[in-house]
Amino acid sequence: MIVAGFDIATTTGAAVLRGATVLHVESFRSPGGYDALVFRNWRRWFRNFLTTHKIERAALEQPLVTNITSPDTRPHARPGETHNPITMKTYLRLYGLRAHAVELCERLGVDCIEVHQASWRKSFTGNGRATKEETLLIAQRIVPGLKSKDIADALGVAWHLNGEIAQQKLFGEVA
């Protein structure tokens, strides 16, 4: 079975696997600064990616949650204040790209799941709180010379999907 994992963002990492064999990895950054152009270019790339590589199942990393807070280090912040460092524009883009991915998978008959970051990181690295750097080190064992953290994350997502499929087969849920 040919599966793909995606770390969807303005720069999207993508990985294609057949079992433990890596068939293809790449990243894509949509040209264009305004949303409509970003979405149109990304959508064209994503559809082409799915069809070119004959993807049967796909896994997407779930977009960021909206309740991220961190200590506010801005100059006029009061002690103990927190803020969300992610802008609304970023959320809108991430969730917009996610919506396009889900719709295109449905349209093309590609079974698609969304995976929480901690879940795929645990499957891939053994640590649900692994950093992007730790994930890249594991990915480089599979794809020597890999430099892209986005692609490394996508590889981890695809690896997780393979584990889900193997578990489903074990319990007779998949032919």
Contact indicator for 135, 121 with CB cutoff of 8 Å: yes
pLDDT of 66? 59
pLDDT of 32? 75
pLDDT of 74? 80
- Residue ranges, the chain, pLDDT below 50: none
CATH homologous superfamily of domain 2-65+83-170?
Ribonuclease H-like superfamily/Ribonuclease H (3.30.420.10)
pLDDT of 83? 67
pLDDT of 86? 74
pLDDT of 151? 98
- Give the pLDDT confidence of 11-27 residue by residue, as tens digits: 999 999 999 999 999 99
DSSP string, 73-94: -STTPPTT-EE--S-HHHHHHH
d(CA 172, CA 175): 7
Q: Where are the domains of the chain?
A: 2-65+83-170
Rounded (5°) CA angle 51-55-59: 125
Contacts of 7 (CB under 8 A, 6+ apart): 13, 14, 61, 150, 151, 153, 154, 157
- Give the pLDDT confidence of 112-140 residue by residue, as tens digits: 999 999 999 999 999 999 999 999 999 99
